Amino acid sequence: MDFGFGTFLAFLSDGVRSLNRKVIVSQSKRTLVLVEDGVEMQATLKEYLERLGYSVQPFSEPQKAIQYFSALGEEVWKNITIITDLGLPGISGIELIKKIRSLSQIPPIILISATVTPSQREQALAQGAMVILDKPFRLERLKMLIEGC
Protein backbone atom coordinates (compact mmCIF):
# COMPACT_ATOMS: atom_id res chain seq x y z
CA MET A 1 0.00 0.00 0.00
CA ASP A 2 1.40 3.41 -0.98
CA PHE A 3 1.00 6.16 1.60
CA GLY A 4 1.21 9.75 0.39
CA PHE A 5 2.69 12.62 2.35
CA GLY A 6 -0.78 13.72 3.59
CA THR A 7 -1.34 10.25 5.02
CA PHE A 8 2.08 10.41 6.64
CA LEU A 9 1.26 13.74 8.33
CA ALA A 10 -2.10 12.39 9.49
CA PHE A 11 -0.27 9.36 10.93
CA LEU A 12 2.15 11.64 12.79
CA SER A 13 -0.69 13.84 14.05
CA ASP A 14 -2.58 10.81 15.35
CA GLY A 15 0.53 9.76 17.25
CA VAL A 16 0.82 13.19 18.84
CA ARG A 17 -2.89 13.32 19.72
CA SER A 18 -2.61 9.97 21.47
CA LEU A 19 -0.09 11.60 23.82
CA ASN A 20 -2.44 14.47 24.75
CA ARG A 21 -3.26 13.05 28.17
CA LYS A 22 0.08 11.50 28.93
CA VAL A 23 3.35 13.41 28.80
CA ILE A 24 6.39 11.19 28.89
CA VAL A 25 9.34 12.97 30.46
CA SER A 26 12.75 12.12 29.12
CA GLN A 27 15.59 11.55 31.54
CA SER A 28 17.89 13.34 29.13
CA LYS A 29 18.91 16.99 29.22
CA ARG A 30 19.53 16.71 25.49
CA THR A 31 18.44 19.52 23.19
CA LEU A 32 17.11 18.46 19.82
CA VAL A 33 17.83 20.77 16.91
CA LEU A 34 15.22 20.12 14.24
CA VAL A 35 16.03 21.40 10.74
CA GLU A 36 12.95 20.75 8.62
CA ASP A 37 11.49 23.09 6.01
CA GLY A 38 8.10 21.37 5.86
CA VAL A 39 5.90 23.50 8.12
CA GLU A 40 3.44 20.74 9.07
CA MET A 41 6.15 18.14 9.49
CA GLN A 42 8.23 20.46 11.67
CA ALA A 43 5.24 21.39 13.87
CA THR A 44 4.19 17.77 14.30
CA LEU A 45 7.68 16.53 15.16
CA LYS A 46 8.32 19.47 17.50
CA GLU A 47 5.08 18.83 19.42
CA TYR A 48 5.76 15.10 19.68
CA LEU A 49 9.37 15.56 20.85
CA GLU A 50 8.42 18.22 23.40
CA ARG A 51 5.76 15.89 24.80
CA LEU A 52 8.54 13.36 25.31
CA GLY A 53 10.27 15.97 27.46
CA TYR A 54 12.92 17.22 25.05
CA SER A 55 13.84 20.82 24.44
CA VAL A 56 13.41 21.37 20.70
CA GLN A 57 15.04 24.18 18.73
CA PRO A 58 13.33 24.23 15.29
CA PHE A 59 14.67 25.78 12.09
CA SER A 60 13.07 25.84 8.67
CA GLU A 61 16.08 27.50 7.04
CA PRO A 62 19.47 25.76 7.25
CA GLN A 63 21.34 29.09 7.22
CA LYS A 64 19.62 30.10 10.47
CA ALA A 65 20.53 26.74 11.98
CA ILE A 66 24.18 27.33 11.01
CA GLN A 67 24.08 30.75 12.74
CA TYR A 68 22.67 29.05 15.84
CA PHE A 69 25.39 26.39 15.76
CA SER A 70 28.09 29.04 15.30
CA ALA A 71 27.04 30.72 18.55
CA LEU A 72 27.14 27.57 20.68
CA GLY A 73 29.79 27.01 23.32
CA GLU A 74 31.78 23.77 23.34
CA GLU A 75 29.96 22.40 26.41
CA VAL A 76 26.57 22.81 24.77
CA TRP A 77 27.55 20.63 21.80
CA LYS A 78 27.77 17.61 24.11
CA ASN A 79 24.03 17.78 24.79
CA ILE A 80 22.72 18.25 21.27
CA THR A 81 21.22 15.84 18.78
CA ILE A 82 20.44 17.13 15.31
CA ILE A 83 17.50 15.92 13.26
CA THR A 84 17.64 17.27 9.73
CA ASP A 85 15.87 16.73 6.48
CA LEU A 86 17.96 15.88 3.44
CA GLY A 87 16.04 18.20 1.10
CA LEU A 88 16.41 21.72 2.46
CA PRO A 89 16.18 25.10 0.74
CA GLY A 90 19.56 26.40 -0.38
CA ILE A 91 21.73 23.52 0.81
CA SER A 92 21.21 19.82 1.33
CA GLY A 93 21.19 18.09 4.68
CA ILE A 94 24.58 16.62 3.67
CA GLU A 95 25.99 20.12 3.12
CA LEU A 96 24.57 21.15 6.48
CA ILE A 97 26.41 18.26 8.14
CA LYS A 98 29.66 19.37 6.46
CA LYS A 99 29.20 22.92 7.78
CA ILE A 100 28.49 21.61 11.29
CA ARG A 101 31.66 19.51 11.14
CA SER A 102 33.66 22.65 10.40
CA LEU A 103 32.36 24.27 13.61
CA SER A 104 32.86 21.57 16.22
CA GLN A 105 32.97 17.91 16.98
CA ILE A 106 29.99 16.44 15.25
CA PRO A 107 27.03 15.65 17.52
CA PRO A 108 24.67 12.76 16.82
CA ILE A 109 22.78 13.49 13.60
CA ILE A 110 19.63 11.78 12.39
CA LEU A 111 18.94 12.52 8.73
CA ILE A 112 15.35 12.13 7.52
CA SER A 113 14.29 11.96 3.90
CA ALA A 114 11.45 10.90 1.65
CA THR A 115 13.87 10.22 -1.18
CA VAL A 116 17.50 9.34 -0.74
CA THR A 117 19.75 7.75 -3.33
CA PRO A 118 22.36 5.14 -2.43
CA SER A 119 25.05 7.74 -3.20
CA GLN A 120 23.45 10.30 -0.89
CA ARG A 121 23.08 7.67 1.83
CA GLU A 122 26.77 6.81 1.55
CA GLN A 123 27.78 10.50 1.59
CA ALA A 124 25.61 11.31 4.61
CA LEU A 125 27.02 8.43 6.64
CA ALA A 126 30.58 9.31 5.59
CA GLN A 127 30.04 12.92 6.71
CA GLY A 128 28.82 11.86 10.13
CA ALA A 129 25.11 11.13 10.04
CA MET A 130 24.36 8.46 12.62
CA VAL A 131 21.42 7.08 10.64
CA ILE A 132 19.14 7.94 7.72
CA LEU A 133 15.49 7.55 8.59
CA ASP A 134 13.29 7.07 5.52
CA LYS A 135 9.95 8.89 5.43
CA PRO A 136 7.40 7.81 6.29
CA PHE A 137 8.63 6.55 9.65
CA ARG A 138 7.06 5.63 12.95
CA LEU A 139 7.45 8.16 15.73
CA GLU A 140 8.47 5.34 18.06
CA ARG A 141 11.45 4.61 15.77
CA LEU A 142 12.60 8.24 15.97
CA LYS A 143 12.19 8.15 19.75
CA MET A 144 14.35 5.01 19.99
CA LEU A 145 17.07 6.58 17.80
CA ILE A 146 17.16 9.72 19.95
CA GLU A 147 17.32 7.69 23.15
CA GLY A 148 20.31 5.83 21.68
CA CYS A 149 22.30 9.05 21.23
Whether residue 20 is contained in a domain is answered as no
Question: Is the residue at 75 inside a domain?
Answer: yes
Please list the residues that pair with 113 across neighbouring strands.
134
Would residue 93 count as lying in a domain? yes
For position 59, which CATH number holds? 3.40.50.2300
Cβ-based neighbours of 74, under 8 Å, separated by 6 or more: 104
Domain-embedded: residue 16: no
Domain count, the chain: 1
Name the pTM for this structure: 0.80
Phi, psi at residue 81, to the nearest 5°? -125, 135
Write the Ramachandran bin of 83: left for phi over 0, alpha for psi from -120 to 50, otherwise beta.
beta
85 lies in a domain? yes
Residue 122 falls within a domain, yes or no? Answer: yes
Taking the C-alpha atoms of residue 20 and residue 22, their distance in angstroms, rounded to an integer, is 6
**pLDDT tens over the chain, length 149 residues:** 333 444 444 444 444 444 443 334 344 578 999 999 999 999 999 999 999 999 999 999 999 999 999 888 877 888 999 999 999 999 999 999 999 988 877 899 999 999 999 999 999 999 999 999 999 999 999 999 999 88
For 133, the 3-state DSSP assignment is strand
In a domain, 22, yes or no: no
